[in-house]
Amino acid sequence: MVQSELADLEKKLRDAQLRPTKQRLALAQLLFSDGNRHITAERLHSDAMGANVAISLATIYNNLHQFTAAGLLREVVVDSSRSYFDTNVMPHHHFFHEQSGTLEDIEKNDLKVDNIPPLPEGTEISSVDVIVRVSSTRR
Amino acid sequence: MVQSELADLEKKLRDAQLRPTKQRLALAQLLFSDGNRHITAERLHSDAMGANVAISLATIYNNLHQFTAAGLLREVVVDSSRSYFDTNVMPHHHFFHEQSGTLEDIEKNDLKVDNIPPLPEGTEISSVDVIVRVSSTRR
DNA sequence: CAATAAATTAGAATTCTTCTAAACAAGAAA
DNA sequence: TTTCTTGTTTAGAAGAATTCTAATTTATTG
């Protein structure tokens, strides 16, 4: 890892009012150094173990939520049994592969959602999430 | 409840190859006798208790899944902490009210999804789910 | 440095869901 | 009917994901 990269991550955390602790920097590195990721807490935890970063699962959860609140991550709800966190925080949608449990981004401009009916009284849109669930073609 | 209604529910179960047991009939009544519902297992369980129907939570879960497999219900994933089951099995979408945790149907023809990009290699669409998350307008 | 406020942690606790193995009920056959 | 087979229900244990607790450690500020 490059020096400047670490400094960038530290700035990213500071800008989000999060102290750049050892654990946060390690997580930020795992999350943001390698393109878009869709990751679960357990997965991130084992990635950290694999990278010889000592960090408890509680801290993983704390930080995933703090990162999300700070707009550094976004939670994607596709599976009722676990939470996925997405490093792409721009508005966009997803393919969800049902067999493998993997997510793939769909850029917002590719896909169009039209004719949303009048919202329930007294509400405003907080997000529009499209999930295209796909499965392997059986042959 | 009307006699014919019970007979209809029994037929509905039989057609789905599910024996119309006391518990299943009671659940079918709670689920299908009163328009579209979006319900959680816990909620259905307390509805049953409220209607003086003795039924265990395990049976609720068993049957929600069996009904879903038989196409009598559809599972809606909107909240990573619990599962919702929808009695409307026609293709359609949802408003999800973030504060109250309630769902509301959006008829398929109201809303249009266009320009879905090419699917991942070797896959086919199993469903396209749109969730319009709304929250109360603060004033 | 010292003070204080924030972050981390292990492990317990919670919540939702599934499993297990035994008891029970439904439908089929005699 | 009665019997047989198989499907269903059940209580409670077990499991999985997540949150909480209270103590300890670490970062930042003065």
Q: Which of residues 6-35 of B touch A (CB under 8 A)?
A: none
Q: Which of A30, A22, A25 is nearest to A8 (CA)?
A: A25
Which bases of strand C have any atom within 7 Å of the beta carbon of a protein residue? Answer: 6-11, 15-20, 25-27
Q: What is the pLDDT of residue B1?
A: 52
Residue-range domains of chain B with CATH: 3-76 (1.10.10.10), 84-134 (no CATH)
Whether residue A139 is predicted with pLDDT greater than 60 in this model: the reply is yes
Q: Which residues in chain B are closer than 8 Å to A125, comparing Cβ atoms?
A: 132-134
Whether residue A5 is predicted with pLDDT greater than 90 in this model: the reply is no
How many residues are recorded in chain B?
139
Q: Which of residues 35-94 of B touch A (CB under 8 A)?
A: 75, 77-80, 82-83
Q: Which residues in chain A are closer than 8 Å to B97, comparing Cβ atoms?
A: 120, 123
Q: What is the pLDDT of residues A35-89, one digit of tens each?
A: 899 999 999 999 999 999 999 999 999 999 999 999 999 999 999 999 999 999 9
Q: What is the pLDDT of residue B54?
A: 92
User: CA triplet B24, A81, B88: central angle to 5 degrees?
Assistant: 45
Q: Which of B30, B129, B127 is nearest to B72 (CA)?
A: B30
Per the prediction, chain A carries an average pLDDT of: 94
Report H helices in B2-136.
3-15, 22-32, 41-50, 57-69
Q: Which of A111, A115, A128 sits opposite B110 (nearest CB)?
A: A115
Per-residue pLDDT of chain B (139 residues; tens, 9 = 90+): 555 588 999 999 999 999 999 999 999 999 999 889 999 999 999 999 999 999 999 999 999 999 999 999 999 999 999 999 999 999 999 999 998 999 999 998 889 999 999 999 999 999 999 999 999 997 6
Q: What is the pLDDT of residue B4?
A: 53
Q: Which of B60, B62, B4 is nearest to B30 (CA)?
A: B60
Whether residue A3 is predicted with pLDDT greater than 60 in this model: the reply is no
Q: Is B100 left (phi over 0), alpha (psi -120 to 50) or beta?
A: alpha
Question: Which run of H or of E encompasses B107?
Answer: strand B102-107
Nearest-angstrom CA–CA distance, B38 and B33: 13
Q: Which of A95, A76, A129, A88 is nearest to B116 (CA)?
A: A95
Q: Which of A78, A83, A125 sits opposite B134 (nearest CB)?
A: A125
pLDDT band, very low/low/confident/very high, at A111 (cuts 50, 70, 90) = very high
Q: Which of residues 55-74 of B touch strand D (CB under 7 A)?
A: 55-59, 62-63
In angstroms, what CA-CA distances link B69 with A32, A114, B44, B74?
A: 39, 31, 18, 8
Give backbone dihedrals phi and psi of B22, rounded to 5 degrees, phi first.
-55, -50
Q: What is the pLDDT of residue A138?
A: 74
Q: What is the pLDDT of residue B5?
A: 83
